[in-house]
Chain A
Amino acid sequence: MLAVGVDIGNLTTKAVVMNGSKLLASSVIQTLDEADASALSAMNKAFEFAGEEPAVKKLVVTTGAGGKEVSFADRSKAITTCLARGISWCKPGIRLVIDIGAESSTVVKMNGRGRVVDWANHDKCASGTGLFLQQMARLMKLSFEEMSELSREASQGAEISGTCAVFAESEVISHVHRVPPTPMPDIILGIYLSVSTRIKSMCKRVGMENPLAISGGVALHEGFVQNLEKEIGEPIYVPENPVCIAAIGAAILAGEEINKDALK
């Protein structure tokens, strides 16, 4: 029996197919209007990549914002549990994982066995999330890669609010239009700092632990991760497939259920 994990995020849906502890395939699609349709579409794609038929015998565990709405799921698990299981599978021994998704950010602290000890999350405002970084990139007409490159030339970060995405946007606009304008690299560093400061505060709230890792779409944003490492003062492990960590965790939990059933 195959273990399937599906993470339905606000922006993307991720599916992972595993056989025992072996990851067979993963997929990422844009989240659709219906949770069932999103999960099914992502799952079928992952099966296709794995060379398996969708009708294969499987156990499905869902997670994420729409995880509980999937009617055909065998189980639904909390995102925190899935992140902890997923990152521990990628690199055993990780004690803190920072997950920055499209519309929320979560910090999960784990014990030596990869079990959740505490967490903090932020989902009340776009600041400190992936959508905020995306919006800022769009505002400055830059790609994430260009932002990363330019940030290396910054002399000091421009002052940008870390508490309100609307204020932050106005501040970026005023930095661009002031005479003389604030140098672009300094604005980018300011944007990174506004997110990093918020994330660092969440890490402190649960208690900083090492080693730490990052997951979610923002983990692919190299310049930001480097800035976050500098702010936190510790190296941050970036897994190979950072977007799918929660889905991997869900698949591992599905695998645990399969093993439990086999023992009965």
Chain B
Amino acid sequence: MVEKGSNKIQSIIRACRIILRMVEVDPNARESQKKYYRMLLQYFTRLRDAQENGQFIAAHTVFFPSEIILAMDLVPMHTETTTWMISLFTGECSDILAAGVREGMATEICAPHRGMTGAFANGSIPKPDVMLWSNMVCDNTAKSGELVMDICDCPGYFLDRPFKNSDLEKAYFADEVRDMIAFLETQSGKKMDYNRLSEIAETTNRQINLTREINELRKNVPSPFSPLGFLELLTIDYLFPGQPESVDYLETLKKELTQAVAEKKGAVPNERFRLMTLFIPPMYLMAFLDRLSRESGAVSVIEPFFTFWGEGNLDPSKPVEAVAEKSYMIPEARMYGPLGNTALETMKQCVLDWKVDGAVFYADVGCRHSCATIKLFKDTLADVDVPMLTIDCDVVDQTVTTEEEVTEKMERFFELLEDR
């Protein structure tokens, strides 16, 4: 018998509302920040009310092409981001993590997946009408997808994406996406709107190009964007791909950063360390990390595997192919996919272009994919004389590391950078 959990989506909404209220009266807050929180509020409110409104919820794992879900006017639930947001906004995930363990998710498995499983099991997030997962980039999804189908007693679809990116493999993946669309049409009773999907692909191009332009602005010294602002870019990409509100947010942000650059105004009062961020910081430490960064004059200026989009654009005239193509273009694919010299050379080039002093690798213990790259990245960065700090942590599980441990490591690292 599983104990019923509190309504986590409601907790996210409540926290979002409070933050939005604070941001709206803060004279120093960015307009884009206000838009960002309004978007989060809209995403989770729609999710909370979906069942009551008779809407079809499609839960999907990270990197899954949610453009399909949006084009069919279904309600998406990005499972990992939902777990992060629970941690970020409530500061607490231990109950859902424990529930996940009780469902058989070992403690070594990626905590967002463990938490998501637990949250479904104890009813603290709404059960989806369908579960969609894939081997796209992250392989933990394969461990939780079927389990979620069992727990939620819902049908599911596993999207098989080939590891490499030849034309043949991309064509295979596009066929997989078509099969999944047929599956979703059967399950939801709704038809795919291919014109809408084309529009989404078109808007995604605009979104990617705006992110590229924002990153160009971040090359300036001092950097105009918040120390950990890249998480906003990441969330926008994960939750609102190809949506007009994403473009609105990014255009507003770009305008703000352009103005800050013109005024030579940095995001932190005294920029001392320009950092490259590798992987995702612990969500429950975000407020603390932001404070520490501001006090120390440290700013993340580039994230080669999260915000740095590769070359190319999507072809909106072939929307299904465009969705398949995007899965090979996403910055994360460079880290998790076939990790070749191109990815490592990109990282080195980022160091030079963004004038990086040091790199911070948040080594999420549950992510074997990323942790396997630690030594390789460290050695690669050493070639361009950039030290890398590795922080053993977990994106949501608070038992892995403490604020004190992170402070100590960060301070040692900043002293190292200062002393060079």
- Which A residues have a C-beta under 8 Å from some C-beta of B? 77-81, 115-119, 205, 207
Interchain CB contact under 8 A, A81 and B419: yes
Interface string of B386-402 (1 = CB under 8 A from A): 01000000000000000
Q: Which of B408, B411, B412, B420 has the most CB of A within 10 A?
A: B412
8 Å CB interface, B376-420 against A: 382, 387, 408, 411-412, 415-416, 419-420
A118-B358 Cα distance, complex, nearest whole Å? 11
A78 adjacent to B415 (CB under 8 Å): yes
Rounded to whole Å, the gap between the CB of A9 and the closest CB of chain B is 14
**CA separation between A117 and B382, bound complex, in Å?**
10
Q: Please, which residue of chain A has its CB at the minimum distance from the CB of B374?
A: A205
A81/B412 contact (C-beta < 8 A), A117-B387, A118-B387 known: yes
Complex A-B, nearest 6 residue pairs according to Cβ-Cβ distance, in ascending order = A78-B412, A116-B416, A78-B415, A115-B419, A81-B415, A80-B412
Complex Cα distance, B413 from A79, in Å, reads 11
In terms of DSSP, what is the predominant structure of the interface of chain A? mixed
Q: Least Cβ distance of B226 to chain A in Å?
A: 26
With the chains together, A152 CA to B375 CA distance in Å?
36
- Chain A residues within an 8 Å CB radius of B411: 78
Q: Please give me the residue from chain A that is nearest to B420 by CB atom.
A: A115
Q: How far is the CB of A202 from chain B (nearest CB, A)?
A: 12
Distance of A81 Cα from B416 Cα, bound (Å): 7
Instruction: For A79, list chain B residues within 8 Å (CB).
Output: 412
Chain A residues with CB under 8 Å of B420's CB are 115
What 15 additional pairs, Cβ within 8 angstroms, besides A117-B387, A119-B416, A205-B375?
A: A77-B415, A78-B412, A80-B416, A81-B412, A81-B415, A81-B416, A81-B419, A115-B416, A115-B419, A116-B412, A116-B415, A116-B416, A116-B419, A117-B416, A207-B382
User: What's the nearest-Cβ distance from chain B to residue A86, in Å?
Assistant: 14
Q: With the chains together, A119 CA to B419 CA distance in Å?
A: 14
Q: Cβ of B419: which chain A residues have Cβ within 8 Å of it?
A: 81, 115-116
- The dominant DSSP class at the B interface is helix
Smallest CB separation, B265 vs chain A (Å): 29
Across-interface contacts of A77 in B (CB, < 8 A): 415
Q: From residue B412, how far is it (CB to closest CB) to chain A in Å?
A: 4
Query: Out of A80, A118, A205, A207, which one reaches B415, CB within 8 Å?
Result: A80
**Chain A residues within an 8 Å CB radius of B415:** 77-78, 80-81, 116
10 A-B residue pairs with CB within 8 Å: A78-B408, A78-B411, A78-B416, A80-B415, A81-B415, A115-B416, A115-B420, A116-B416, A119-B416, A205-B375
B376 to nearest A CB, angstroms? 13
Distance (whole angstroms) from the CB of A110 to the closest CB of chain B: 10
Q: How far is the CB of A117 from chain B (nearest CB, A)?
A: 7
| Separation of A77 and B412 alpha carbons in the complex (Å) | 8
A116, B413: Cα distance in complex, Å: 9
Give A77's nearest chain B residue, CB to CB.
B415
Closest Cβ neighbor of B388 among chain A residues: A118
A205–B374 alpha-carbon span in the complex (Å): 10
Which B residue sits closest to A116, measured CB to CB? B416
In the assembled complex, the Cα of A81 lies from the Cα of B382 at a distance in Å of 19
| Residue of B375, B411, B416, B420 with most chain A CB atoms under a 10 A cut-off | B416
Q: Which residue of A lies closest to B416 (CB)?
A: A116
How far apart are A33's CB and chain B's nearest CB, in angstroms?
18
For A119, list chain B residues within 8 Å (CB).
412, 416
A256, B419: Cα distance in complex, Å: 13
Contacts of A116 in B (CB 8 A): 412, 415-416, 419
Q: How far is the CB of A253 from chain B (nearest CB, A)?
A: 10
Give the distance in Å from the alpha carbon of A81 to the alpha carbon of B411 in the complex. 10
Q: Please measure, in the bound complex, the distance between the C-alpha atom of A263 and the C-alpha atom of B217, giving whole angstroms.
A: 39
B-chain residues with CB within 8 Å of residue A118 when the two chains form the complex: 387, 416
> Which residues of chain A are within 8 angstroms of B416 by Cβ–Cβ distance?
78, 80-81, 115-119
Residue of B nearest to A80 (CB): B412
**B349-387 CB contact bits vs A (8 Å, 1 = yes)?**
000000000000000000000000001000000100001
Output the nearest chain B residue to A119 by Cβ-Cβ distance.
B412
Q: Which residues of B contact A80 (CB under 8 A)?
A: 412, 415-416
Please give the distance in Å from A263's CB to the nearest CB on chain B. Answer: 18
How far is B410's CA from A80's CA once the two chains are assembled, in angstroms?
A: 12
B82 to chain A, nearest CB (A): 30
Q: Which residue of B lies closest to A204 (CB)?
A: B375
Closest B residue to A85 by beta carbon equals B419
CA–CA, A78 and B413, complex, Å? 9
Q: What separation, in Å, do the CA atoms of A207 and B412 have in the docked complex?
A: 18
Set of chain B residues within 8 Å of A115, measured between Cβ atoms? 416, 419-420
B185 to chain A, nearest CB (A): 51
CB distance from B397 to the nearest CB of A (A): 15
A118 to B411, CA, bound (A): 13
Tell me, rounded to whole Å, the shortest Cβ–Cβ distance linking A64 to chain B: 11
- Smallest CB–CB gap between B97 and chain A, Å? 20
